[in-house]
């Protein structure tokens, strides 16, 4: 409060300079990413154990996942990561219009991802490949294939929830960018959104081979 | 006699709204203090009812089903609503930035959000009581938890939500400690309470997400019949225990580590002596935090877990004794030849040493697979757990509360009543739980509604102990609340302590300190300077 | 316009060149194609290893360049490595149990229930549904 003259408007009162503020945000964000990794980690533990117990069932069941659709979704998500990174780069260079363009592109790719996911889900619902006790499909050889689909739906479902959350945050960033809240000097929230979106991509990078490409 | 500062964080803004929308870590700390106090009272009433029911075999006041719900609620409320947020979110929130010479925590908004999440989770837990309640025990073991009727989903959801509150507090503290230390406050100039909060925060962010996914899977298991924890569906109930204890063993260190930090502050301050082995105490917190992630299987020796895994987990569990022993050794060495003053906080610190030693050593019995087969699921486990969690954490929390109370409210409580109350709590606690050790060794199983006649006398002792403790807490509530309004002004440094929070007024101003802080002396330089007492 | 690594003078943020982002994106797509192709070759137990190695290379590229770990302070990398370390503890100690039940005492360990009850109520699997899309 005492030295408000040389303090930029985005600097909160309890920080002494912008670098301290943005470093704090970044460290906080990375710790948040750490918690996300452990949240998904539990599912990877369940996956590992049941796959180790029932390797043949996992192999047989995974054939019912569509590699083409999963592959396209991988490409879509990687591309959206590139556009997200570029939107931040544009803001670093002070090019607001480019930033907006790249953010919109990221949103579009995210939407495509969700649409494809929806098509995959509805196909499985149709066949009765539902999680747990709702499972009615008889075409998979091996012990308790409903467990594979339970794990598949929880993993991709939780990931899908993260995609939707990411899209929400990106929309918020889009609005803030349009309202000139960011500049080449201050774009920390945009940067944090980027980190989050890359995390969503990162998780999918592991989910895709583990679920769709069991060799 | 000193007087209260005109302008402080309590008086600067007034009205309920100024509290509910505050971003000030001190006010959020006080709001947490109120929340956990209500939870503690609630959990305590459940405990008194349990003890009353167990006074005689068979029915005394409630039926078996209600009894099952009571011990579940006692456990769930005490663990998730009181003891996990207790020290970090209430006392830590208030003291941490003051100890670092900072103006606030790194993310004040997140701090407030974590309080609202806490309240929301607490309300949801209360809702579950009135919508069928839960009788699974606080551990929610499958397959019982997926089959029993009652509000398991609501209670689980509440614990899930409370997890976020804990994660946000931990995240906030780590960043605050990294980025907001005052100039001159190097890592090894930080008070040991800060070190312990740091180690605690690391466990909070590493372990709590696993609790989150565990509870999500449990809810899905109940709703969708996922099958991964249900043996009838080809799942593995022991897997649930792995998931649960991967969080919940480290979680007991979320509860005990900050307590140990408080004890370090109390022992140094009231011995008026430099803490012995500063670095050893600081690093042993991290040792405990790390080992805590390697030992969870010691809860599962009788579960059908691989015997080989049990042996490894048993072996690793013994390692916890090393850093814990280092701490106790250093505290005793600090007391040695100190000029000890026996103010109320110090009485709590000394009871901690006594009770925690018993709690810790009986843990070794349970970590040994051969003795654990006999003691598992008996009152011995219950007594061990309470010696660590109550004798350790709650006693240290009370010590810290009495230590920082004058800083929080600017007023002093009645020292005589405080000592009487501390004595009653100490005596009552030992009467309650030593009898449970004895019953446990004789084979009294935990969570049973009734018992054989041979345990009648010991159950009687235990129940009388709970009344003594209850009286102690009742007195405490009276003199503490009284002191807020009528206590004499405490002055900025009533105990003559050297950590930074005592350099500002009591209560502190909204901005914490009059100007920007700079470290002028270490937190334990009692051999170099005589602290100002006023 | 000069598209090379440069430092924004005002805020000292690192700005990576455009070509770098495009190159990393390209590499990720190529690696995706590789991992799909390899999955159709029968390598026995090595399939999962290869898949995880490729995924980890892709993940590291994302973390290092898109998420700037390569340029940023080391502490952020430490945070993430900690997470992976504790996750691997979780996986390995849990699997140490689930994979080794009955190792000491000769209690035969087997799946708890090879077939859940509800399968008996499903129609018989005589007309094996051939809706699987990928042929391995
Ligand atoms: Cu434990």
In a domain, residue B9? The reply is: no
Q: In this structure, are residues B211 and B254 in contact, taking their beta carbons and an 8 Å threshold?
A: no
Average pLDDT (C54-78) is 94
If pLDDT is split at 50, 70 and 90, which confidence band does B12 have?
A: confident
Residue A15, in any domain of the structure:
no
Query: B314 pLDDT exceeds 80?
Result: yes
Tell whether A10 is covered by a domain: no
Q: Taking Cα atoms as reference points, which of A114, A145, A146 lies closest to residue A132?
A: A146
Q: What is the ipTM of this complex?
A: 0.93
> What is the rounded distance in angstroms from the CA atom of residue B426 to the CA atom of residue B349?
11
- Establish if B13 belongs to a structural domain: no
Residue B172 has pLDDT above 90, yes or no: yes
- The residue of chain B nearest to residue C98, with distances taken between CA atoms, is B306
Number of Cβ within a 10 Å radius of residue B385: 20
Residue B233 pLDDT exceeds 90: no
- Residue A143 forms contact with C (CB below 8 Å): yes
Say if residue B462's pLDDT is above 50. Answer: yes
Strand partners, B445: B378
B222-259 in b/e form (b: 16+ CB < 10 A) is: bebbbbbbbbebbbbbbbbbbbbbbbbbbbbbbbbbbb
Task: Give the Cα separation of A123 and A114 in Å (integer).
Answer: 14
**CB-closest option in A42, A52, A138 to C122:** A138
C126 exposed, middle or buried (CB, 10 Å; 0-12, 13-18, 19+)? exposed
Inform me whether the C-beta atom of residue B515 falls under 8 Å from chain A C-beta atoms: yes
Is there a domain that residue B477 lies in? yes
- Pick from B209, B238, B212, B233: which is nearest to B221 by CA? B233
Whole-structure pTM value? 0.93
Give per-residue pLDDT as tens, B361-409: 999 999 999 999 999 999 999 999 999 999 999 999 999 999 999 999 9
- Answer whether residue A97 is part of any domain: yes
Q: Is the pLDDT of residue A147 over 50?
A: yes
Q: What is the pLDDT of residue C128?
A: 46
Q: What is the mean pLDDT of residues A155-163?
A: 96
Residue B173 near chain A (CB below 8 Å) = no
**Cβ of C57 under 8 Å from any chain A Cβ?**
no
C37 touches chain A (CB under 8 A): no
CB B135 within 8 A of CB B68: yes
* Chain C partners within 8 Å of A53 (Cβ): 98, 111
| Residue C106: predicted pLDDT | 64
Task: Name the residue range of residue A98's domain.
Answer: 20-212
Q: What sign does the dihedral C52-A192-B169-B16 (CA atoms) show?
A: negative
Q: Any chain C CB within 8 A of the CB of A65?
A: yes
Question: Where in chain C are the domains?
Answer: 16-104
Residue-averaged pLDDT of chain A: 92
Supply A78's token pair: 């990687």
* Nearby residues of C60 by Cβ (< 8 Å), 6 or more positions away: none
Exposed/middle/buried for residue A75 (C-beta within 10 Å: 0-12, 13-18, 19+): middle
Q: Sign of the C-alpha dihedral, residues B90, B91, B97, B98? A: positive
Mutate to test the interface with B, among A2, A15, A28 (most CBs of B within 10 A): A28
Structure token pair of residue B17: 């709204």
Write the CATH number for A81. 1.20.120.80
CATH number assigned to the domain comprising residue B104? 1.20.210.10
Look up the domain containing B479 and give its range: 28-503
Lowest mean pLDDT among B131-140, B245-254, B273-282: B131-140
Q: Which chains touch B (3 or more CB pairs under 8 A)?
A: A, C
| Contacts C112 to B, Cβ<8 Å | 231, 234-236
Number of domains in chain B: 1
Asked, for residue A14, whether it belongs to a domain, the answer is no
Q: Does C31 touch chain A (CB under 8 A)?
A: no
Interface test with A, best of C26, C49, C128, C133 (most A CBs within 10 A): C133
pLDDT in tens, B272-297: 999 999 999 999 999 999 999 999 99
Distance B298 CA to ligand 1 centre (A): 6
Q: What's the gap in Å between the CA of A147 and the closest CA on chain B?
A: 6
Do the chains contact at C133 and A64, CB–CB below 8 Å? Answer: yes
Q: Based on the structure, what is the number of domains in chain A?
A: 1
Cis peptide before A206 (omega within 30 of 0): no
Give the DSSP letter string of B354-381: HHHHHHHHHHHHHHSHHHHHHHTTBHHH
Contact state of B217 with A154 under an 8 Å Cβ cutoff: yes
Highest mean pLDDT (candidates A138-142, B119-123, B300-304): B119-123
In a domain, A50, yes or no: yes
| Interchain CB contact of C72 with A (< 8 Å) | yes
For B209-228, how does the pLDDT look when each residue is reduced to its tens digit (9 = 90+)? 999 999 999 999 998 888 88
pLDDT tens string B318-360: 999 999 999 999 999 999 999 999 999 999 999 999 999 999 9
pLDDT in tens, B100-111: 999 999 999 999
Answer yes or no: do B293 and C112 touch at CB < 8 A.
Answer: no
Point out the least confidently predicted range of A158-162, B82-86, B444-448, C102-106: C102-106
Chain C positions touching A200 (Cβ under 8 A) are: none
CB-side neighbour CA atoms (13 Å) of B331 = 26
CA of C75 to the centre of ligand 1 (A): 30
Q: How far apart are CA A189 and CA A99, in angstroms?
A: 13
A211 vs A63: CA distance, rounded Å: 10
**Higher model confidence: residue B193 or residue B522?**
B193
Contact flag B208-A35 (C-beta cutoff 8 Å): yes
Query: Does C61 contact chain A (CB < 8 Å)?
Result: no
pLDDT of res. A5: 55
**Residue B223: helix, strand or coil by DSSP?**
helix
Q: Count CA atoms within 13 Å of residue B257 on its CB side.
A: 36
All partners of chain C with 3 or more CB pairs under 8 angstroms: A, B
Predicted pLDDT at B534? 63
Helix (H) or strand (E) holding B259: helix B237-271
φ, ψ for residue B191, nearest 5 deg: -60, 155
A161 touches C at CB < 8 Å: no
Q: Which residue has the higher pLDDT, C9 or A52?
A: A52
Task: Quote the mean pLDDT of chain B.
Answer: 93
| Cα B363 to ligand 1 centroid, rounded to whole Å | 9
Closest CA to B151 of B73, B63, B39, B52: B73
Contact B75, B159 (CB under 8 A): no
| pLDDT on residue B529 | 81
């Amino acid at each position: 409060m005492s030295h408000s003259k040389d303090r930029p408007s985005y600097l909160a009162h309890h920080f002494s300079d912008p670098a301290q503020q943005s470093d704090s945000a970044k460290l906080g964000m990375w710790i948040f990413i750490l918690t996300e990794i452990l949240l998904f980690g539990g599912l990877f533990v369940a996956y590992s154990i049941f796959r180790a117990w029932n390797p043949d069932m996992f192999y047989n069941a995974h054939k019912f996942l569509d590699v083409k659709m999963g592959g396209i979704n991988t490409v879509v998500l990687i591309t959206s990561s590139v556009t997200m990174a570029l939107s931040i780069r544009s803001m670093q260079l002070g090019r607001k219009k480019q930033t907006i363009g790249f953010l919109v592109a990221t949103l579009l790719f995210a939407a495509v991802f969700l649409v494809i996911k929806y098509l995959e889900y509805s196909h499985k619902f149709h066949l009765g490949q539902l999680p747990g006790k709702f499972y009615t499909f008889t075409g998979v050889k091996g012990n308790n294939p409903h467990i594979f689909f339970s794990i598949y739906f929880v993993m991709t479902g939780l990931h899908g929830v993260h995609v939707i959350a990411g899209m929400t945050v990106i929309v918020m960033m889009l609005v803030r960018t349009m309202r000139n809240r960011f500049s080449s000097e201050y774009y920390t929230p945009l940067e944090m959104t980027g980190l989050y979106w890359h995390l969503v991509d990162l998780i999918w990078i592991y989910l895709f081979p583990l679920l769709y490409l069991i060799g | 006699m000193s007087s209260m500062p005109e302008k402080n964080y309590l008086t600067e803004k007034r009205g309920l709204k100024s509290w509910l929308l505050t971003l000030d870590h001190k006010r959020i700390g006080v709001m947490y203090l109120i929340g956990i106090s209500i939870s503690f009272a609630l959990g305590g009433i459940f405990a008194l009812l349990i003890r009353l029911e167990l006074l005689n075999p068979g029915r005394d006041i409630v039926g078996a089903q209600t009894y099952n719900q009571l011990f579940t609620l006692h456990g769930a409320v005490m663990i998730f609503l009181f003891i996990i947020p207790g020290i970090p979110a209430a006392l830590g929130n208030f003291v941490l930035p003051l100890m670092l010479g900072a103006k606030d925590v790194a993310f004040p908004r997140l701090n407030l959000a974590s309080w609202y999440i806490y309240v929301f989770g607490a309300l949801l837990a209360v809702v579950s009581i009135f919508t069928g309640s839960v009788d699974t025990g606080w551990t929610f073991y499958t397959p019982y938890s997926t089959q029993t009727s009652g509000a398991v989903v609501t209670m689980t959801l509440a614990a899930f939500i409370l997890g976020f509150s804990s994660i946000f507090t931990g995240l906030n503290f780590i960043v605050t400690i990294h980025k907001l230390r005052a100039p001159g406050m190097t890592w090894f100039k930080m008070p040991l309470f800060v070190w312990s909060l740091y180690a605690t925060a690391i466990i909070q962010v590493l372990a709590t997400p696993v609790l989150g996914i565990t509870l999500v899977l449990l809810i899905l298991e109940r709703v969708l019949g996922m099958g991964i924890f249900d043996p009838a569906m080809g799942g593995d109930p022991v897997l649930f225990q792995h998931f649960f204890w991967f969080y919940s063993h480290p979680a007991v260190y979320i509860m005990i580590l900050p307590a140990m930090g408080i004890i370090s502050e109390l022992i140094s301050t009231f011995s008026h002596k430099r803490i012995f082995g500063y670095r050893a105490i600081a690093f042993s917190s991290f040792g405990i935090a790390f080992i805590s992630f390697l030992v969870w299987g010691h809860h599962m020796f009788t579960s059908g877990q691989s015997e080989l895994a049990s042996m490894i987990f048993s072996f690793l569990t013994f390692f916890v004794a090393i850093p814990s022993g280092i701490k106790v050794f250093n505290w005793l060495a600090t007391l040695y030849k100190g000029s000890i003053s026996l103010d109320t906080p110090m009485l709590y610190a000394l009871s901690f040493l006594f009770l925690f030693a018993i709690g810790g050593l009986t843990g070794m019995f349970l970590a040994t697979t051969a003795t654990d087969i006999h003691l598992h699921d008996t009152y011995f486990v219950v007594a061990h757990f309470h010696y660590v969690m109550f004798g350790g954490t709650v006693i240290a929390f009370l010590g810290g509360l009495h230590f920082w109370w004058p800083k929080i409210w600017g007023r002093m409580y009645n020292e005589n009543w405080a000592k009487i109350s501390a004595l009653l709590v100490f005596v009552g606690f030992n009467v309650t739980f030593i009898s449970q050790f004895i019953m446990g060794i004789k084979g009294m199983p935990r969570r049973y509604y009734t018992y054989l006649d041979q345990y009648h006398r010991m159950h009687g002792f235990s129940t009388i102990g709970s009344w003594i403790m209850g009286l102690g807490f009742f007195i405490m509530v009276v003199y503490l609340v009284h002191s807020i309004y009528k206590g004499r002004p405490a002055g900025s440094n009533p105990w003559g302590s050297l950590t930074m929070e005592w350099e500002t007024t009591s209560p502190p101003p909204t901005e914490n300190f009059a100007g920007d802080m700079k470290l002028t002396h270490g937190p334990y330089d009692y051999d170099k300077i005589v602290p100002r007492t006023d | 316009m000069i598209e090379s690594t440069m430092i924004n003078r005002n805020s000292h943020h690192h700005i990576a060149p455009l070509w770098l982002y495009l190159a990393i994106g390209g590499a990720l797509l190529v690696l995706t194609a590789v991992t799909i192709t390899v999955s159709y070759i029968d390598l026995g137990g090595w399939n999962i290893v290869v898949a995880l190695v490729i995924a980890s290379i892709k993940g590291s590229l994302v973390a290092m360049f898109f998420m700037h770990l390569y340029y940023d302070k080391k502490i952020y990398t430490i945070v993430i490595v900690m997470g992976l370390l504790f996750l691997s503890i979780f996986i390995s100690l849990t699997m140490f149990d689930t994979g080794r039940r009955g190792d000491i005492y000769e209690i035969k360990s087997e799946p708890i229930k090879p077939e859940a009850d509800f399968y008996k109520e499903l129609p018989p699997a005589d007309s094996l549904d051939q809706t699987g899309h990928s042929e391995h």
